[in-house]
Chain A
């Protein structure tokens, strides 16, 4: 073989290989557009085999109908002038496959030197175009979300906001009709929708009249429909052939046809709050589109929920205003209602548990008006907390806010306790007040209300026999009066703002040493602000004066509180017009009496009778090694607790299964205290019945036995729904001195 031939053959092989392995489709044509080369990628791209393509005209094989004339004109011009404007340029055109599918391509055409041969290299742009379109759609979507959110924030008009939303979403999804709606519920629990925005498809005068009168807020309640399926299942509904879909409900006569439908649920925090319906997308709906719309649906959910909250706030304000009017009109009735709320919820006359080494007295008076005064007590093992507060304003709103504060207080304490117990301590007063503030401030701000309070914790520091410290958080309340050594008045206060004024206030506490014999007086502003007939307020000086006199007279805490309340009453000529709350704490002078014989212990047991008697063993074990108590004490405690438990099982829990009873016991120097808690029905102490032979009933002795076993029996229903029964037995007492 001559060398030239050899080289030509090698070159040809090389060229063939390059052509066949090129990622791009490569097509060569001569000057009259006849295909002379058609590589493997071209075969794949266009669906023609090389054998068929070669020899045929290019324009008949891959150029769509509408561009053929242009191509032929271009080729003619090139032949005549030798000028090819497209040569060497990168162009984006459309091409056509053997099956007639049109798709975008990028191509470059080059001329082979000296010959009328043109080589085109083509690349399929379908994927890139799709990606670009996707990005563009996403851009539009996020712009739509942002526009809608801003529109809502600026105007607060949910209908207009969702009108924008609907137009965008119709455009983006190429849908013909659609609606954006809120999901509401009938009193029976059935869901229905009320549209915020919908395409006007009124097809006759009647529908136009309805639309004009109601739009955009139309309600649709038929659940046996495609949109109804979204409501009942909470899931996306796609139907690309509505005519045969078993879920369809049919359309009213005259309604434009809906061939394809897509129902998109809008969820917020797990709740179905809204729905978007779209119809007649030419290519049908698919999951890809639904996923694409996901962030958009979330944004719609946020708008709906925000709008609902705003609406609720507006309603609440309106209600508050009308409540204010009602206050003027039916003041008397409201005062009655409020008094009931206050007496039942807000005020506790006496702390449930008697704290060690201190004596607590409470005096509460509410006469002609009702305020949001409240006071409460929280007891920990070695700490006793007092909360005294006042809700700004009067009437039902204040009383309701007061009850909310009280309810939240116990929740906050409990939840904080869950955390702080991990670190072996109780929640600090500043944590409790801070927790209350976090929980209450949003609502208080909405109601334009605020709450002042004093939170004081009396605490026994490590190993001390009696209370050693008082830690105070003052949130804008009247200060606490301390009287030491019977005649040294001193006011304790802090400088925190009331709850509900600032949502980032940091509550500070301050601690003071407690000394034996100290008296602390907490009171509401009704005391200092009570005026006499000449409009002179009672004032702090008189509080000091009356309190010092009472302390010097060696009154107990109850008497000190009563004396102060009485002095205020006298000052006003028995005509006070604000509630008065006074809490007095007197620290025992002889601290030795509060020494604990044995640390408090806890036991929880099920109600079921087979396992119930475990508490008896617990008590036996606890009492077994307490020094200084008698056998009689031990027996009496077990007898009395048995009656208490039987009583709870029979009356409070009605033998209900799976309930538990909690029991705490603490043996102190002077007494043994037992607290029994259950979550059963509320029950009350019946009249005490003495045993008699001629009585023909042989039941009902339980309370009498309890009363004989314990000097103090107190039953309270707490806000969390617990019955709390507190029993105290004086150590060493026998039957004779019990009664």
Chain B
């Protein structure tokens, strides 16, 4: 797993979760990959306040992946920023739906929609 950051403005940065092969759309954010995610995410976010987490390559998120995402949200909101999620595959969306994640995190169709939601 690797995280690919892209800046849209000084305030908004997207972080995409990708596999070692960029075309891999079956990346899992679960018990086995969460340690890698947690290790890389501070550098991937850097100084950005508002982060778009691009899950287009992620096919599966389990409870530990959910925990890791929530942890990012917590850190960003504590420093006045926010996290939005975009490009969620169907199975991941079912999981988010089951835990009612949309009630606390903005989940968007794609990166553009998420940027628009950040007002940038």
A, B from the same assembly: yes
Please report A residues at the B interface, Cβ cutoff 8 Å: 609, 631-632, 635-636, 638-639, 642-643, 646, 650, 691-702, 704-705, 708-709, 734-735, 738
Q: Would you give the shortest CB distance from B99 to chain A, in whole angstroms? A: 6
Chain A contacts for B101, CB-based, 8 A: 691
Beta-carbon nearest neighbor of A650 in chain B: B31
**Contact A639 B31, CB 8 Å, known A646-B63, A698-B67:** no
Q: Give A646's nearest chain B residue, CB to CB.
A: B31
Residues of chain B with a CB closer than 8 A to A631's CB: 90
Rank and list the top 4 A-B pairs by shortest CB-CB distance, nearest first: A698-B67, A635-B94, A708-B98, A701-B63
CB-CB under 8 A for A638 and B100, given A691-B70, A701-B63, A702-B63: no
Instruction: Select which of A639, A642, A694 is within 8 A of B94 by beta carbon.
Output: A639
CB atoms of A646 and B100 under 8 A apart: no
B23 to chain A, nearest CB (A): 20
- Contact (Cβ within 8 A) B98 A709: yes
Among A635, A642, A691, A693: residue with most chain B CB under 10 A: A691
Is the Cβ of B62 less than 8 Å from the Cβ of A635? no
B-side contacts of A696, CB under 8 Å: 74
Which of B63, B67, B104 gathers most chain A CB within 10 Å? B63
Are the CB atoms of A639 and B91 closer together than 8 Å?
yes
B68-98 interface bits toward A, Cβ cutoff 8 Å, 1 = contact, 0 = none: 1011011001000000000000110011011
Query: Which residue of A609, A632, A734 is within 8 Å of B31 (Cβ)?
Result: A609
Whether A635 contacts B90 by the Cβ 8 Å rule is: yes
A-contacting residues of B (Cβ < 8 Å)?
Answer: 30-32, 60, 62-64, 66-68, 70-71, 73-74, 77, 90-91, 94-95, 97-101, 104
Contacting pair A646 B62 (CB below 8 A): yes
Check B95 against A635 for contact (C-beta < 8 Å): yes
The CA-CA distance from A701 to B71 in the complex, in Å, is: 13
Please name the residue on chain A nearest to B70 by beta carbon.
A698
Of A643, A698, A738, the residue contacting B68 (CB under 8 A) is A698
Query: Could you jot down 9 A-B contacts, CB within 8 Å?
Result: A639-B95, A642-B62, A646-B63, A650-B31, A691-B99, A691-B100, A693-B77, A701-B63, A701-B67
Q: Is the CB of B74 within 8 A of A639?
A: no
Does more than half of chain A's interface fall in helix, strand or loop, or is it mixed?
Answer: helix
In angstroms, how far is the closest chain A Cβ from the Cβ of B64?
7
Minimum Cβ distance to chain A for residue B28 (Å): 8
Q: How far is the CA of A291 from the CA of B26 in the complex (A)?
A: 72
- Is the CB–CB distance between A699 and B90 below 8 Å? no
In the complex, chain B residues whose CB is within 8 Å of the CB of A708: 98-99
Selected contact of A691 from candidates B66, B68, B90, CB within 8 Å: B66
A694 to B78, CA, bound (A): 9
Chain A residues closer than 8 Å to B70, beta-carbon distance:
691, 693, 695, 698
Taking CB atoms, residues of chain B closer than 8 Å to A638 are 91
Assembly CA distance A643 to B32 (angstroms): 13
Select from chain B the residue with minimum beta-carbon distance to A692.
B104
Q: Assess whether A704 is in contact with B67, with CB atoms less than 8 Å apart.
A: no
B98 to chain A: which residues have CB within 8 Å?
A: 636, 639, 705, 708-709, 735, 738
Q: Within the complex, what minimum Cβ distance (angstroms) separates A252 from chain B?
A: 69
Chain B nearest CB from A698 CB (Å) reads 3
Contacts of A694 in B (CB 8 A): 74
With A696-B74, A704-B99 as known contacts, state yes or no: A643 contacts B63, CB within 8 Å. Answer: yes
Across the interface, which residues of A come within 8 angstroms of B64, CB to CB? 646, 699
The residue of chain A having its C-beta at the shortest distance from the C-beta of B72 within the complex is A698
Q: How far is the CA of A642 from the CA of B61 in the complex (A)?
A: 10
Expressed in whole angstroms, the Cα–Cα distance for A642 and B31 within the complex equals 10
Name the contact of A735 in the complex, choosing from B31, B62, B73, B97 (C-beta under 8 A). Answer: B97
Q: B73 to chain A: which residues have CB within 8 Å?
A: 693
Q: How far is the CB of B91 from chain A (nearest CB, A)?
A: 4
Task: Give the residue name and chain of the B residue nearest to A706 (CB).
Answer: B63
A699 and B67 contact, Cβ closer than 8 Å, known pairs A691-B100, A691-B104, A693-B77: yes
The answer to whether A693 and B91 touch across the interface, beta carbons within 8 angstroms, is no
Beyond contacts A636-B98, A693-B74: 17 other A-B pairs, Cβ-Cβ < 8 A, are: A631-B90, A636-B94, A638-B91, A639-B94, A639-B95, A691-B66, A693-B104, A695-B70, A697-B67, A698-B67, A698-B68, A699-B63, A700-B67, A701-B67, A705-B98, A735-B97, A738-B98
B62, A639: Cβ atoms closer than 8 Å: yes
- In the bound complex, what is the Cα–Cα distance between A650 and B99 (angstroms)? 21
CA distance A642 to B30 in the complex (A): 10
Report the separation of the CA atoms of residues A650 and B67 in the bound assembly, to the nearest whole angstrom.
16
- Which chain B positions have C-beta within 8 A of A697? 67
Is B91 a contact of A735 with CB atoms below 8 Å? no
Q: How far is the CA of A58 from the CA of B70 in the complex (A)?
A: 119
Report the minimal beta-carbon distance from A655 to chain B, rounded to whole angstroms.
Answer: 10
Enumerate chain B residues within 8 angstroms of A705, measured Cβ to Cβ: 62-63, 66, 95, 98-99
Q: How far is the CB of A644 from chain B (nearest CB, A)?
A: 11
Which residues does chain A contribute within 8 Å of B77, judged by CB atoms? 693
Q: Residues of A contacting B104 with CB < 8 Å? A: 691-693
CB <8 Å contact, A643 and B91 = no
Tell me the minimal C-beta distance from A558 to chain B in angstroms: 29
Closest A residue to B69 using CB positions: A698
A698 and B91 form a contact (CB under 8 A): no
Which residues of the other chain, A, contact B90 by a CB distance below 8 angstroms? Answer: 631, 635
Residues of B within 8 A of A738 (CB): 98
Q: Which residue of B lies closest to A691 (CB)?
A: B99
Q: Once the chains bind, are A643 and B66 in contact (CB under 8 Å)?
A: no
Residues in B with CB closer than 8 Å to A704 are 63, 99
B72 → A minimal CB distance (Å): 9
Which residue from chain A places its CB closest to the CB of B101 in the assembled complex? A691
- The complex places the Cα of A693 from the Cα of B94 at a distance, in Å, of 20
Could you tell me the distance between the alpha carbons of A694 and B74 in the complex, rounded to whole angstroms? 7
CB distance from B20 to the nearest CB of A (A): 16
Chain A residues with CB under 8 Å of B30's CB are 642, 646
Q: Which residue of A632, A650, A692, A698 has the most chain B CB atoms within 10 A of its CB atom? A: A698
In angstroms, Cα B40 to Cα A252, docked, is 79
Evaluate contact between B71 and A698: CB separation under 8 angstroms.
yes
Closest to A647 in B: B63
CB <8 Å contact, A735 and B68: no
Shortest distance from the beta carbon of A605 to any chain B beta carbon, whole Å: 15
Distance in Å from the Cβ of B102 to the closest Cβ of chain A? 10
